[in-house]
Amino acid sequence: MSIFFHLIKVCPKTGARLGKLATNHGVVDTPAFMPVGTQGSVKGITTDELAELKTAMILANSYHLYLRPGIEVIARAGGLHKMMNWSGGILTDSGGFQIFSLGGLRKVEDDGVVFTSHIDGSTHYLTPERVVRIQNVIGSDIAMVLDQCPPYPVSREEMEVVVERTSRWALRCREAHLREDQALFGIVQGGVYQDLREKSAAELVKMEFTGYAIGGLSVGEPKELMYRTLEGVVPLLPADKPRYLMGVGSPDALLEGSRLGIDLFDCVLPTRIARNGRVMTSRGYLTIRNAVYASDMAPLDEACGCPVCRNYSRAYIRHLINAGEILGLRLTTYHNLYYLAQLMQEIRDAIAEDRFDQYYREMKPRLDQYYGGAN
């Protein structure tokens, strides 16, 4: 079995979907947020702790794993699941985001991408076929096609080239994909140009991928523009296949994306801000490094039931972080992932109980107020 998606229920007023995504490494209840473990590790968290958090799937990055430790090492370990002692699902990004993020360290050509390693300066040429082979060796449950992720803003002329190249690469990935126990997702590009999104979606749907991702958003555009683009793109995707919005993880965007019919999300946001001493709470962001919390014996969030909030004070966690103790960053990371896991559970429960529309109307103003900034 590669992957099976069962759509259970759709909110008639909004389009929010409740589903189950079955893989060889368990079932993902959707909509779901996937913590990011770029290099085969979700920073600051063990796989046992991820299981405690009821994490069903994480994201790893095939480009970074290809560079280090190398696919030969991963193959010798029996695949990434065994190497990192993780029994849940894994989705691997193809390296398309690195086309966006690495800037001067890469050169995009029609046949593939030339990368200069940020580790040792060596040169690597990744084609769609090679990216698929790398993900075949990694053994992820879901592999992604190689796409070109452009920045925002980008001209229409440039975006037309991106869409054409992404479609050509997607077909080459489809033809090169060999593992029957691994799903392959296509990635819709087109920026904020609706007709180009329609063109990209139509071409990818004809290729009959197992699922479809929406890429090229959360790359600098205003959130309202991202939402408007999603409203135009989501209806173009098959209703019976999973939909994945790449690189989005702020609470307000998770709620809005779920309303629009997205099934999977990922983002480095919760773990990255945790390492800077910033946490998500029921009343918005809290920067625990600040001096105001030096003698504050309250938990990070009095409305939170996670082990961190049950057992440790703001003062103690602030002390750990300011003293450079690793435990402080582990605690803030655990809390942030717990917060998002609970949010997604609330969203799923609301859809299941036919009250998502009411839940959305109650939560949207609050989340927009507290988290309406960065994606």
Is residue 1 very low, low, confident or very high in pLDDT (cuts 50, 70, 90)?
A: low
Q: Is 296 a catalytic residue?
A: no
Asked whether residue 250 is assigned to any structural domain, the reply reads yes
pLDDT number for residue 105:
78
Say if residue 114 is in the same domain as residue 181: yes
Among 267, 284, 310, the domain boundary falls at 267
Among 267, 294, 322, the domain boundary falls at 267
C-alpha to C-alpha distance for 154 and 93, rounded to whole angstroms: 23
Distance of CA 196 to the CA centre of its chain: 23
DSSP string, 107-157: EE-SS-EEEE-TTT--EEEE-HHHHHHHHHHHT-SEEE-------SS--HH
Kind of pairing between the strands at 142-144 and 89-93: parallel
Among 216, 243, 267, the domain boundary falls at 267
Asked whether residue 164 is assigned to any structural domain, the reply reads yes
C-alpha to C-alpha distance for 220 and 80, rounded to whole angstroms: 32
User: Domain span at residue 302?
Assistant: 274-369
C-alpha to C-alpha distance for 220 and 266, rounded to whole angstroms: 16
Say if residue 48 is in the same domain as residue 143: yes
Say if residue 55 is in the same domain as residue 87: yes
Asked if 57 and 90 count as a contact pair (C-beta separation under 8 A), the reply is yes
Say if residue 283 is in the same domain as residue 220: no
- The pair of structure tokens assigned to 136 is 């075949």
Mean pLDDT of 315-339: 98
What confidence tens digit (pLDDT) does each residue in 87-134 have? Answer: 999 999 998 777 767 777 788 899 999 988 889 999 999 999 999 999
Kind of pairing between the strands at 278-281 and 284-287: antiparallel
| pLDDT for residue 153 is more than 70 | yes
What confidence tens digit (pLDDT) does each residue in 263-289 have? Answer: 999 999 999 999 999 999 999 999 999
- The pair of structure tokens assigned to 272 is 């990255």
pLDDT number for residue 349:
98
Which of 149, 112, 103, 117 is CA-nearest to residue 131? 112
| Catalytic residue selected from 93, 141, 252, 263 | 93
Please report, for the domain that includes residue 219, its CATH number. Answer: 3.20.20.105
SS3 81: helix
Mean pLDDT of 319-341: 98
| Catalytic residue selected from 141, 263, 266, 301 | 266
Number of Cβ within 10 Å of residue 299's Cβ equals 20
Number of Cβ within 10 Å of residue 308's Cβ equals 20
Q: Is 266 a catalytic residue?
A: yes
Asked whether residue 111 is assigned to any structural domain, the reply reads yes
pLDDT number for residue 218:
93
Asked whether residue 374 is assigned to any structural domain, the reply reads no
Asked whether residue 286 is assigned to any structural domain, the reply reads yes
Say if residue 196 is in the same domain as residue 321: no
SS3 74: helix
SS3 122: coil
Q: Round the average pLDDT of the chain to a whole number and report it.
A: 96
Say if residue 113 is in the same domain as residue 139: yes
Asked whether residue 101 is assigned to any structural domain, the reply reads yes
Asked if 131 and 62 count as a contact pair (C-beta separation under 8 A), the reply is yes
| pLDDT for residue 375 is more than 70 | no
What confidence tens digit (pLDDT) does each residue in 201-236 have? Answer: 999 999 999 999 999 999 999 999 999 999 999 999
Cα 193 to Cα 73, 153, 247, 260, 265, distances in angstroms: 42, 11, 19, 18, 22
Distance of CA 241 to the CA centre of its chain: 17
Percent of the chain surpassing pLDDT 90: 92
Mean pLDDT of 183-194: 97
Percent of the chain surpassing pLDDT 70: 98
Number of domains present in the structure of the chain: 2
Mean pLDDT of 24-34: 97
| pLDDT for residue 262 is more than 60 | yes
Say if residue 231 is in the same domain as residue 256: yes
Which of 344, 191, 375, 186 is CA-nearest to residue 258? 344
Name the residue with tokens 């993880």: 249
pLDDT number for residue 65:
96
Terminal CA-CA length for the chain: 34
Asked if 269 and 236 count as a contact pair (C-beta separation under 8 A), the reply is no
Say if residue 245 is in the same domain as residue 307: no
Higher pLDDT, 140 or 107: 140
Higher pLDDT, 1 or 47: 47
Say if residue 78 is in the same domain as residue 191: yes
Say if residue 251 is in the same domain as residue 278: no
pLDDT number for residue 98:
79
SS3 91: strand
Asked whether residue 375 is assigned to any structural domain, the reply reads no
Say if residue 345 is in the same domain as residue 215: no
Say if residue 66 is in the same domain as residue 127: yes
